[in-house]
Structure 1
Amino acid sequence: MMYTEFDEIRPYHDEELPQVFEELIADPAFRQVVGVVMPDVPFEVLAQKMRACKTKMEFQKAFCYGLLKKLAKEVTDGLTLDYVTVPDDREMACTYISNHRDIILDSGFLSILLVERGLDTVEIAIGDNLLIYPWIKKFVRVNKSFIVQRALTMRQMLAASACMSRYMHYTIAEKKQSIWIAQREGRAKDSNDRTQDSVLKMLAMGGEGDVIDRLMEMNIAPLAISYEFDPCDFLKAQEFQLKRDIADYKKTTADDLLNMQTGLFGYKGRVHFQIAPCINDELSKIDHSLPKPELFARISMLIDQRIHANYRMYPNNYVAHDLLEGSDNFTSHYTAEDKQRFVSYIEKQLQRITIPDKDTDFLREKMLQMYANPLKNQLAVLKR
């Protein structure tokens, strides 16, 4: 059965790809970007390679996998994935709910790590605020993304959320296709990662039964993503100061593009993905009769605890914590060289901020918090 209800938001069906490929090939903006990304390959050769792809997976393996592998080699010191249990995705699809560090690479790196283990790539929830040009919207839908509609009235938002929830339930149950979704709208600017109840409320709009039944249908597996360095740290710190100083400050499309570009091509050091087990066992123990606000708060906290417990800590996290506290509690976790390297890095990033009335002390503190917060949150879980 072909559902038409999801046509506006779903990834393209494989049989739709030939038409979409022709539209992309004819788009001057797409051609220009491809020329920048792959300057050594004639566009006609790429066009023929695209036309030869019969499925979204073939397209991902032919183009995205190689590009992401090359990028990972250039801007990271290695990608790693670890998990206690990842179900065979042919038997049970999962909803990976993760903290959010990079607009494009969180889901991109996850997909290449899964492919390397012989598993399928994930479908990706992506906000329509990032789909700035028509070719981007087409490209992400070829690349197994589904669209989160954001610029809507309250009534439209409810209808769109319900439609997306039904789509995600259908994707997990019928298509047996795993999904990646961030735990909140947008990235946590201070790396104090918290699951928004609204994400769980949206997931519980689709499916059958009560709230717990509906969330169990989604096979939620919390995913902790740890970047040693965040290339956008200085942009996030800058945004904190602008929001502090300008009452109605709003990021522009140009700001979004700069964040995407900086996140993609900036140095990240080591990057680790840790998948926690599916939370269904825990969900089954929760009292179904609890009031909904309490249910959602409890489940959000459960996901947060799994994510916080599974961060991978780097010397930077310990140095930042000690610098903020003015202590040497964690000196056993880093060397003098580690500390010097991190302090120099922070000062260099601060120099990249060029706003008027630059408040260097405030900006430095915000950047240190970004690196200290994951450790603070992990310590809080481990003390329980």
Structure 2
Amino acid sequence: MDTTEFDEIRPYNDEELPQIFEELIADPAFQKAACSVMPNVPFEILAQKIRTCKTKQDFQKTFCYGILWKLSENYTDGLSLDHTALPDKKKAYVYITNHRDIILDSGFLSILLVDQGMDTVEIAIGDNLLIYPWIKKFVRVNKSFIVQRTLTMRQMLESSARMSRYIHYTILEKNQSVWIAQREGRAKDSNDRTQDSVLKMLAMGGEGDMVDRLMEINIAPMAISYEYDPCDFLKAQEFQLKRDVEGYKKTIQDDLKSMETGLFGFKGRVHFQAAPCINDALEEMDRDLPKTELFARLSSLMDKRIHANYRLYPGNYVAHDVLSGTNEFASHYTQEEKLHFENYIEQQLGKIEIPNKDIPFLREKLLMMYANPLTNYLAAI
């Protein structure tokens, strides 16, 4: 099979690493970033360590694994993964998850998989986040492949088809699991919905009809539940700016701030819950359905499996009760937990710095972010 068509988007091959490592080590922006993440280690020592890595796996185990567990120790109340719905640990899956954090959704998933005796995932990452040349190199060393977003309609179609072929190749030939978000960008209000376009893209590659193509890549929905979303106040702020400022668009600085806030903000408990692979449902799908109908059904199946597998925290119940003005879920939290969560919301509101700050609107948006997972969970079960 000729795999050169993937050269532009795929992670680096192991034999390409020495050259890329030298380019990274020589890049002042990479040096600065590395020193800020590992402030106690002189860069020369880091550089020496990087040069000893022979494979992407070595690199991940030497650096990323430790850094991600350190982030978890400093900024969460614990990370957990329940993978029992997918008992075959040797099988490669396309994990499709709801999307909360730009970097940590896939990062935390990888270290949790490693601790359960599995391999890290290859990560689909949008090129809009590859702001600097060193970031593009770094993510490709770290087993990411690139989703090209800034294209014309026609290029978009070709690019999606190539990415789909790449994912099929990765699952079938490399037996390597893949992580992809259920939608482009994060759900700003935590109302997680799978975009049909993601499933359509996955069905472009492979053999047989639509259903066969999707079955061969073992799609596994997975629910990610963060107790607190450190970017919640930035998302609320964006809602107001979009409402008040015509043609409002986020800048590169905004994206960088989101990445940083997501990494170094407090997340409380973080849980990953695997749902069963959707092949059972695909098996029973009517293959003669019109395409749009088929994808609509599959998206709602994905949503249902993700929603039903959320882990809910006291804040989700408090937010729901505060918004509805009832005590319907009072048995799910103590007075102390309620107070704690309400204080947290006020604290986050205090971080928003925009002109004409509309407090009631912003508070409602923040509460919605925490209430929506519960609303969707109740609908799914």
Asked if these proteins are the same fold (TM beyond 0.5), I'd say yes
Letter of the 1:178 counterpart: S
Q: For 1:87 and 1:16, locate their aligned partners in 2 and report how far apart those are by CA, in whole Å.
A: 34
In the other structure, the counterpart of 2:141 is 142
Aligned to 1:68: 68
Please give the secondary structure, in 2, of the residue aligned with 1:284: helix
Q: Tell me which residue corresponds to 2:47.
A: 47
Match of 2:28 in 1: 28
Q: Which residue identity does 1:242 align to in structure 2?
A: L
Q: Distance in 2 between matches of 1:347 and 1:261?
A: 21
> How far apart in 1 are the matches of 2:140 and 2:88?
24
Mapped partners of 2:81, 2:349: distance in 1: 31
CA displacement 1:175-209 (0-9 Å, x = unmatched): 00000000000000000000000000100110111
2:251: which partner in 1? 252
Residue 94 (structure 1) aligns with: 93
2:310 maps to 311
Unaligned runs of 5+ in 1: none
For residues 111 and 313 of structure 2, what CA distance do their matches in structure 1 show?
23
State the identity as a percent.
74
Q: In structure 2, the residue corresponding to 1:221 is in which secondary structure?
A: strand
**Conserved 8 A contact 1:89-1:120:** no
Q: What's the offset of the Cα at 1:87?
A: 4.5
1:225-304 mapped onto 2 (5 Å cutoff):
225-304=224-303
C-alpha distance in 1 between matches for 2:314 and 2:41: 40
Structure 1 Cα separation of the partners of residues 85 and 239 of structure 2: 38
CA contact (8 A) 1:221 1:279 kept: yes
Structure-2-length-normalised TM-score: 0.99
Partner of 1:80: 80
Aligned residue identity for 2:350: Q
Q: Secondary structure at the match of 1:238?
A: helix
Q: What pairs up with 1:78-227 in 2 under 5 angstroms?
A: 78-90=78-90, 92-227=91-226
Distance apart, 1:277 and its partner CA: 1.1
Distance 1:46 1:151 in 2: 34
Q: What residue identity is the alignment partner of 2:52?
A: A
Report matched runs for 1:8-19 at 5 Å.
Answer: 8-19=8-19
Residue 86 of structure 1 and its aligned partner are, at CA, apart by 2.5
Deviation of 1:84 after TM superposition, in Å, equals 2.6
Q: Does 1:381 align with 2:358?
A: no
Paired residues of 1:316 and 1:339 also in contact (CA < 8 A): yes
Give the superposition deviation at 1:2. 5.7
Letter in 2 for 1:335: T
CA contact (8 A) 1:122 1:180 kept: yes
Contact 1:89 1:178 (8 Å CA) reproduced: no
Q: Helix, strand or coil: the match of 1:269? A: coil
**Partner residue of 1:6?**
6
Which AA in structure 2 matches 1:271?
A: V
Runs of 4+ in 1 over 4 A off after TM superposition: none
Three-state SS of the structure 2 residue aligned to 1:77 is coil
Distance 1:255 1:60 in 2: 27
SS at match of 2:4: coil
CA–CA separation in structure 1 for the residues paired with 2:32 and 2:333:
45
Distance 1:110 1:365 in 2: 31
Distance 2:2 2:41 in 1: 38
Question: With structure 1 as the length reference, what TM-score do the two structures score?
Answer: 0.98
Could you tell me how far apart the structure 2 residues matched to 1:243 and 1:217 are? 41
- Deviations along 1:125-162, one digit per CA (max 9) or x if unpaired, are 00000000000000000000000000111111111101
Counterpart amino acid of residue 358 in structure 2: D
* SS of match in other structure, 2:77: strand
Q: Which runs of 5+ in 2 are unaligned?
A: none
CA distance in 1, matches of 2:2, 2:72: 37
1:229 and 1:268 in contact (8 A); partners too: yes
SS state at 1:175 partner: coil
Shift of 1:85: 3.0
Counterpart amino acid of residue 233 in structure 1:
D
Report the CA distance between 1:83 and its aligned residue. 2.4
Q: Which amino acid aligns with 1:5?
A: E
Q: Go from structure 1 to structure 2 and tell me whether the alpha carbon gap of 1:87 and 1:94 turns closer, same or farther (over 3 Å shift).
A: farther
Query: Which amino acid in the other structure matches residue 300 of structure 1?
Result: S
Using the TM superposition, give the Cα deviation of residue 211 of structure 1 relative to its aligned residue in structure 2, in angstroms.
1.0
